[in-house]
Chains A and B, each alone.
Chain A
Amino acid sequence: MKYSVFAAAILSASAAYAETPELTVYTYDSFVSDWGPGPAVEKAFEAQCGCDLKLIGAGDGAALLARVKLEGARSQADVVLGLDTNLTAAAAATGLFAEHGVQAEYSLPVAWEDAYFAPYDWGYFAFVHNADAVSVPTDFKALGASDVKIVIQDPRSSTPGLGLLMWVKAAYGDEAPAIWADLADNVVTVTKGWSEAYGLFLEGEADMVLSYTTSPAYHLIAEEDGSKAAAAFAEGHYLQVEVAGILAASDQPELAKDFMNFMVSEEFQSIIPTTNWMYPAVTPSAGLPEGFETLITPAKSLLLSADEAAALRDGALGEWLDALSQ
């Protein structure tokens, strides 16, 4: 008698467990960290879907894509969240993604028409400096002409690094090599990723670092430190739009679509500004947190389309290597 009750309990427990569908989302490491959006997103989504949301950090944006390619169609992931527009062409070319079918009123500075990837946040790349800096350049040419020391990231191993490459290319086109040649003597060093570069800047190794216009917001809001500011450049700033996509081979397509819709909904978007420190793709009805209004808003937003970015990438990298290897 006892045993059959025990067995029945176990069986029903496992059956109940098996009924909770599991949605696996691959994303980048800073999303899943305790200070990132991960925990809040997981709580909010699990409350409304009755499922088990698993967020798995797989490095950063480019590592994410490499991981997906490595796993191929047999990947256990259902959704990939954290690619950016420089990677979407390559991601779409793998044929592993399915159309997401999400419709929303995006608050992006540019129109969004990608059927395979939906944006969840965006930001402007900018050079961040100490607010009390004496001379702050107002465009790339002024930066090249000055002796302000900057630290940047390697485009081959970092998405902001690649963003800077595309920024110069989008703003200057064929003049890009000349701009890079001028910048070569300003560059203190080139780091592997954003963390190292930002760490170096905070240590005082350079006067400016390539980061986002929203970085000062972090210091202002979380640390109550108003000492950082972003430099506004006259050519405009390049956008980083972070996107998510559904994998075609997912075993939970309906749940994945639910997640994508959740992603552009009020709940998710209101978590983003103070955890991911980027602008939300759909501005929440309560608006942006206090402190965001102090951030610079570029006059012009630059963004190459996914295909253009993919086509220009290798050439731009070659120019960058030539200029900085002198």
Chain B
Amino acid sequence: MIVAALILGTLLAVALRAEAGRGFGASDWAALRFTLTQATLSAVLSVGLAIGLARALARRRFWGRSALIALLGAPFILPVIVAILGLLTVFGRAGWISQILMIFGLDPLQIYGLHGVVLAHVFFNLPLATRLILQGWQEIPAERFRLAAQVNAGPGAIWQLLEAPMLRRVVPGALAVVFAICLSSFAVALTLGGGPRATTLELAIYQAFRFDFDLGRAALLSAVQLGLTGIAGFVALRVSDKDGVGAGLDRVLRRWDGETPLARCIDLAWIGFAALFLILPLSAVVVSGLSGLVLLGASVWVAALNSVLVAGLSTVLLLSLALPMAAAVALGRSTLIEVAGILGLAASPLVIGTGLFIVIYPVADPFELALPVTALVNAVMALPFALRILVPRAREVMLRYGRLSLSLDMAGTPFLWRVFLPRMRAQIGFAAGLAAALSMGDLGVITLFADPEVATLPLQVYRLMGAYQMEAAAGAALVLLILSMGAFWILDRGGRWHAEA
């Protein structure tokens, strides 16, 4: 309810404040077409590649595996401009790969255009999709694999019997999430798109606010964006299979399939390629940031502290919103709640921020409320991801242990405390880590409510860049990366402690 109120209410506030504006023009249709194209391509590519990668990761056990899985959270939580610069350092016209190409006399890599936008989106979303789908693999109890090994099932049979049904459940949700993220993408499309051809709806909303101050048009475009995401989310929910794979006894997972040399090669190739694709741009960010670290002043560290506080608050808010919602969905109470969760993905932070500003301004001083409001909006924005992570697991838990618990008269609080939460620990840790990291990297809302004394770290990075302090900005970005990754890793690891990951 709170979520719906926040998203739809702020949209309403903006719409009511608007004067008569232009309607949906020709450029808006072009924006819509481009938005749909790149979002669909990105979603399909990300999830497609993620399936292969997740399969490889699920089958293999190797040194550094849990580090790689934790690292999979990194690209998603980076502030966009930092990640783009990292990507460009590797793939850009003057990037590492272009330099190698030029040694061989070939033209430098042309990254700007639709393919650049899709590449960046895959970089951001492939890891997230992989984690989500890998979770699905975790759902399959160890007993099934044991059974499969006993009947000597080959890869094809395992696929048909175990993996494909699981994927049918998990993939539509992952597709919807990635689609919604790419739908509302803004800076990526603008910087890597190569020009105004590559305008997304989010950019059109931004311009309606900034360039024309046409609140009516902004509200209209935002409504369209919400509508598209709502449709995608709804379709995904309808398509995904709700039945689980059955209960297990929590044995340690061992797999006997995939031991052939061919399988090993394929898996190695997947993991190697993915690791390289992810690590190169990240290391570019690290390398350029190291020299800037010494230039950082007190203001950056204060901003870092603020960011950590906001992130903490956000995470707490998020968990208090998400867990009840996940439980409600798992009990089959309402699909509306799930859709409301997905809506948060497509809601433009600009619209939410402005709407909140309009609502709060007559009543209180926005600056005082800056940090709590930012925390709240970040929590709502992270809600869809949290739900995507928590809901499948919650369903499993309810299915497997619901009846057993009822028969033991464990309904209500004991069930929650002894069964539900401990079983969900890994997912709660992941969701909390993601929320904390996302909140730390967020820039959207704080700009309207910001006070110079109350800056968060991403805002500080932008301010440094605007003051020609590129090196210091890179240093601050590195600090942001370390903090985000640190928070993510602590929470994620804490959740996965002794749980199968």
Contacts and interface: CB of A to CB of B under 8 A. Distances in A.
Mutual binders A and B: yes
A192 B190 contact: yes
Contacts of A196: 81, 84, 187, 191, 465
Nearest to B451: A56
B464 A33 contact: yes
3 A-B pairs with the lowest CB-CB distances in the bound complex, closest first: A204-B94, A195-B465, A30-B466
B190 A154 contact: yes
B104 interface: no
B138 interface: no
Chain A CB within 10 A, most for which of B93, B195, B213, B447: B195
Chain B CB within 10 A, most for which of A187, A200, A202: A200
Interface stretch (A65-73, A166-174, A241-249, A257-265): A65-73
B124 interface: no
Nearest to A193: B466
Nearest to B354: A70
Given A70-B354, A195-B462, A321-B27, A203 B89 contact: yes
Nearest to B450: A57
Contacts of B30: 325
Interface in B415-474: 447-448, 450-452, 459, 462-470, 473
Chain A CB within 10 A, most for which of B27, B191, B450, B462: B191
Given A195-B462, A320-B196, A190 B361 contact: no
A222 interface: yes
A325 B93 contact: no
A150 to B, nearest CB: 12
A194 B197 contact: no
Contacts of A65: 213
A63 interface: yes
A109 interface: no
B93 A66 contact: no
For this complex, into which size category does the number of interface residues on chain B fall?
Answer: 35 or more
Interface in B3-51: 27, 30
B195 A325 contact: yes
Interface in B165-198: 186-187, 190-197
A58 B446 CA distance: 10
Interface in B298-315: 299
B112 interface: yes
Nearest to B17: A70
B190 A203 contact: no
A59 B194 CA distance: 24
Contacts of B92: 200, 203-205
A277 interface: yes
A123 B232 CA distance: 48
B137 interface: no
A203 B447 contact: no
Nearest to A202: B470
Given A63-B447, A74-B362, A324-B196, A205 B468 contact: no
A157 B206 contact: yes
Interface of B: 27, 30, 81, 84-85, 88-89, 92-94, 112, 186-187, 190-197, 203, 206-207, 209-211, 213, 297, 299, 354, 357-358, 361-362, 365, 367, 447-448, 450-452, 459, 462-470, 473
Contacts of A215: 468
Contacts of B190: 154, 157, 190-192
A232 interface: no
Given A192-B187, A192-B190, A204-B93, A199 B462 contact: no
Interface in A124-156: 149, 154-156
A187 B467 contact: no
Nearest to A153: B190
Nearest to B471: A223
A34 interface: yes
14 contacts: A30-B467, A33-B463, A74-B362, A76-B365, A156-B206, A156-B210, A157-B207, A187-B194, A195-B466, A196-B81, A200-B92, A205-B93, A324-B196, A324-B197
Given A154-B190, A189-B112, A199-B81, 4 more contacts: A35-B468, A67-B448, A187-B194, A190-B190
A135 B451 CA distance: 45
For this complex, into which size category does the number of interface residues on chain A fall?
Answer: 35 or more
Contacts of A22: none
A83 interface: no
Interface string A38-66: 10000000000000000111111011011
Contacts of A190: 190, 193-196
Nearest to B194: A189
A218 interface: yes
B465 A57 contact: no
Contact of B211 (A67, A156, A320): A156
A32 interface: yes
A200 B286 CA distance: 17
B195 A189 contact: yes
Interface string A183-225: 0100111111111101110111110000000010010001000
Contacts of B85: 199-200, 203
B194 A188 contact: yes
A143 to B, nearest CB: 16
A226 interface: no
Given A62-B211, A203-B94, A205-B93, A30 B463 contact: yes
Given A33-B466, A206-B93, A55 B196 contact: no
B112 A56 contact: no
Contacts of A291: none
Contact of A200 (B88, B187, B357, B467): B88
Contact of B193 (A36, A59, A189): A189
A157 B85 CA distance: 19
Chain B CB within 10 A, most for which of A184, A191, A222: A191
B39 to A, nearest CB: 19
Contacts of B84: 196
Contacts of A198: 465, 468, 470
Nearest to A190: B195
A79 to B, nearest CB: 15
B93 A74 contact: no
A29 interface: yes
B94 A205 contact: yes
Contacts of A59: 447
Chain A CB within 10 A, most for which of B85, B93, B362, B469: B93
A9 B466 CA distance: 44
Contacts of A324: 195-197
Contact of B196 (A28, A71, A204, A325): A325
B463 A66 contact: no
Contact of A57 (B81, B89, B463): B463
Chain B CB within 10 A, most for which of A56, A63, A70, A71: A70
Contacts of B213: 65-66, 69, 90
A277 B187 contact: no
Contacts of B367: 56
A47 B27 CA distance: 52
B93 A56 contact: no
Nearest to A317: B211
Chain A CB within 10 A, most for which of B365, B459, B467: B467
